[in-house]
Structure 1
Amino acid sequence: MTPDKIVRNFARCSDWEERYLYLIELGEKLPKYPSSKVNDEYLIAGCQSRVWLDFSYDHASQTFMFSALSDAAIVKGLLALLRVVYHDQTAVDVLNYDIRAWFESIDLKSHLTPGRTQGLDAIIEDIQNTARVVIEGQ
């Protein structure tokens, strides 16, 4: 799955109810999150739902690995979208990707509650901060 394919799939949906169903379907396809990482160390602050994020860096391939879990179906779908964009990317690619413009291209944020938008922004900020730390450490 690629960001462009997501945009095309969203465009094929006839209305936002169908898009929400697609988003939920994407969330159901997230890889299994390790139960050992369902704890406060991986819990993202600022989210309305509970979200656990393991965004680690593989020094050998110089790419990020991304796994996540939420207790809310829509949020799991949002995490699946972020995984499509950020998984197996370099720190520079993570920071250079205009995620907000991509969300605009699928008209996502205008259909999220303010709480979900705030949580999504908190997750993106956490991911981008991790990428910045990697770049600074190189």
Structure 2
Amino acid sequence: MNWAEQVKNSHGWDAATRKLMLAGKALPILDEQDRSDSHYIEGCESPVWLKVSIDEQSDQVSIEAYSPGKIVRGLLQLVIEPLQGQPVQTFCNFDLLMYISELGLTRLLSPSRNNGVLKVIERLRALQRSLGSC
């Protein structure tokens, strides 16, 4: 079962929070050199960096992210999980807002954390729009 399903199927805030922290441990750590202003996302409760790259040979999307906050790292893992390693066209067609809505995260998160998740999604959606093949 993927991390999103584990969090979604958690019973209660405590169980979901534990799953989020475990998911955060599974998030590959973004190299220090990539924690630059160009990858920084403004408006999140904790500092967040997000780097998206596309392998031109395989046409697959690679997403790396980092935050010092354990729960925020878990949230990043949930957002990234369905997109990681996908072909560009799949990445472009993925409805992030619907995905987050289906997870029911708003019931678990404070307004400021929900806002941070939306900032990450805004960055990914901007990238979806900017790709010529989308």
- Shared fold (TM-score greater than 0.5)? yes
Q: What SS class does the counterpart of residue 132 from structure 2 fall into?
A: helix
Structure-2 residue corresponding to 1:63: 60
Tell me how far apart the structure 2 counterparts of residues 128 and 11 of structure 1 sit (CA, whole Å). Answer: 23
**Contact kept? 1:109, 1:117, Cα under 8 Å:** yes
Tell me how far apart the structure 1 counterparts of residues 99 and 130 of structure 2 sit (CA, whole Å). Answer: 24
Q: Which moved more, 1:41-50 or 1:67-76?
A: 41-50
User: Counterpart amino acid of 1:101?
Assistant: M
Structure 2: unaligned runs, 5 residues or longer: none
**Contact kept? 1:57, 1:64, Cα under 8 Å:** yes
Matched, 1:116 2:109: no
Deviation of 1:12 (Å): 4.3
Structure-2 residue corresponding to 1:97: 94
Q: What SS class does the counterpart of residue 38 from structure 2 fall into?
A: coil
Q: What CA deviation, in whole Å up to 9, does each residue of 1:10-44 have, x standing for no partner?
A: 35423221011001110011112111112222111
User: Counterpart amino acid of 1:76?
Assistant: R
Match of 2:4 among 3, 6, 11: 6
**Contact kept? 2:24, 2:76, Cα under 8 Å:** yes
Structure-2 residue corresponding to 1:20: 17
Pairwise CA RMSD of aligned residues?
2.0
User: Counterpart amino acid of 2:35?
Assistant: V
Q: How many residues align?
A: 134
Q: Which moved more, 1:90-99 or 1:107-116?
A: 90-99
Deviation of 1:48 (Å): 1.9
Q: What CA deviation, in whole Å up to 9, does each residue of 1:56-106 have, x standing for no partner?
A: 111111121011000211110011112211111233322322333332333
Q: What SS class does the counterpart of residue 46 from structure 2 fall into?
A: coil
Tell me how far apart the structure 1 counterparts of residues 57 and 42 of structure 2 sit (CA, whole Å). Answer: 30
Distance 1:35 1:135, change over 3 A: same
Deviation of 1:135 (Å): 2.4
Structure-1 residue corresponding to 2:75: 78
